[in-house]
Amino acid sequence: MIEIAANNSTLRSWVFVPENSDFPIQNLPFGIFEQKGYKSAGVAIGEMVLDLGGLQSYGFLDGIGLPDKVFEKETLNAFLALGRKMGRRVRNKISELLAEGNIELKNHYDIKSLLIPQKEVKMCMPIQVGDYTDFYSSEQHAYNVGCMFRDPDNALLPNWKYLPVGYHGRASSIIASGVPIHRPKGQQRPNDDEPPVFGPCKLLDFELEMAFITCGENLLGESISTEKAEDYIFGMVLFNDWSARDIQKWEYVPLGPFLAKSFASSVSPWIVTMDALEPFRIPGPQQDPKVLPYLEFEGDKHFDINLEAAIRPEGSGERVVTNSNFKYMYWSMAQQLAHHTVNGCNIKTGDLYGSGTLSGPDPSQFGSMLEISWRGTKPVPMSDGSERKFILDGDTVIMRGYAKQEGIRIGFGEVSTKVLPAL
C-alpha cells in the first residue's frame, strides 16, 4: 500500500466535519462549483467547499509546480492533465492547510470567501468528457441478464471470462447530478409477431455503476500494461448509466445498444482520488480460466466501496431499492484499461470509463430494476404505497457510495436525477 500523508487516519481538521460525513480531511475530493457567476475548482471538506482558484491566487499553493490559474477553469481537465503525482502534491498540501493546529489558512483575512458552504453553491460537471467507454464487468449482473434472455446453463457468453467486455458510448449526453432527463423515445417491438412501434420508452431503468477518469495519455499504437494502468487513473465518481430496456431489446442485435443508452448518463460532482481510496484495496475474485498474459496483474486491484440506489416518487419520500458494492467486479480497472489499449487505442485526460452495472450475489444487491423486479415480475413497493417495476415519470433516482474502515468514511456524495415526461 502506498503511504500518503493525507490518508493519516489520526488527522482532524479545524473545519467542522459532522459525524459520518462523506468528506472528512482524509477524503478531499475535487470538483467544479459555481456561485453568483463565479466558477472554480474546489475541494469538499465537511459541509464546505474550499475554493482552489482563490487558494492558489493567494499563494497558498506556491512551490509545488502548478501552472498559473489552473483551477480557474470550466473543468478539471487542465489539472488532471498534470498527472496523479501532482494531484497527490496538491491534496497533501490542502490536507496540511486544513489540519487541526495549522492556523495559516484558518486565520487568513479572506477565509470566508475561500471556504463556502456547499448549500450555497451549484456543483457542475467536473470534467469535459472526451470519450466514454462502458464495461460489463459484474459477473452476477451478466449472469442475471443471461438467465433472463438466454439459458441459465449458458448465461455468460463464451468471451466473458476471457476479456473485459465493453463498448464505446456517447460522451455528449453525460450530465451532472441534479440535471433532469426526459424519458427517451424510440422503436420498440413489444410483440415478436408484429412490426415495431415508435413512442416513449416504457421500461426505463437505472444502472448502479461507478466510473473512473483518466489523467494521462498514451501514444496511438502504444499499450498500457496492468502494472502501469493505475498511473493513468486519477479518481472515481458515482455513475448512473440510464437504460431504455425495451428500446435496447429491439435494437441491440447485431451492433449493441445505441438509442437505448445514448440519451443520458449521470455522474456525481466530486471526483474521489485513487489516493484517498488506497486504504480500501482488497483482493479480487479468483479468475478462472487463467487470463491471457496481458491481463495478468500483481497485488490487490479491487476496492471495497458500498453503494446504494433509491427511488423517490414525486411528492414522497425515498425508498432504497438496492445495496451493492464495487467489489463485485470480476475485471479490475487496471485490467479494463490494459484491455482497452492493448490494440493501440490512445486514451486522453478526462476520458470516462463505466464499470457496468454492479450486482452482488443476493437479490437485495442487484444493480438495476431489470434485475430487482426480475423483468417486472416482482414489483417493488415505494414509500407512498405505489409499486415500481421500472422508473416512472416524476421519479428521482438517487445513488450514494462510500468506503469505510477504522472510523474513516470516504464518501462520494450522491448522484440524483429526476425523470421528466418525454418531449
Domains (ranges, CATH) in the chain? 5-123 (2.30.30.230), 132-420 (3.90.850.10)
Best CA proximity match to 184, nearest among 129, 124, 248: 248
| 3-class SS of residue 122 | strand
Residue 385 gets the label, from left (phi > 0), alpha (psi -120 to 50) or beta, of left
Best CA proximity match to 273, nearest among 49, 59, 43: 43
pLDDT number for residue 132: 98
pLDDT number for residue 294: 98
Q: Which residues of the chain have pLDDT under 50?
A: none
Give 225: exposed, middle or buried? Use CB within 10 Å, 0-12, 13-18, 19+.
middle
pLDDT number for residue 3: 79
Best CA proximity match to 38, nearest among 124, 129, 127, 126: 124
Dist. CA 29–CA 31, nearest whole Å: 7
SS3 content of the chain, % helix, strand, coil (to 5): 20, 30, 50
Cβ atoms of residues 210 and 355 within 8 Å? yes
pLDDT number for residue 2: 76
Q: Where are the alpha helices (DSSP H) in 81-120?
A: 84-98, 111-114
pLDDT number for residue 1: 66
pLDDT number for residue 146: 94
* CA end-to-end distance (rounded Å), the chain: 51
Beta bridge partners of 199: 186
Give just the sign of the alpha carbon dihedral 167, 171, 174, 176: positive
Residues assigned a catalytic role: 141
> How many helical (H) and strand (E) elements, i.e. helices and strands, does the chain have?
10, 26
Cis peptide leading into 289, omega within 30 of 0?
yes
| Cell 487516519 sits on residue | 9
pLDDT number for residue 162: 98
- Encoded amino acid at 10, one letter: T
Dist. CA 70–CA 77, nearest whole Å: 9
Report the Cα 194 to chain-centroid distance in Å. Answer: 39
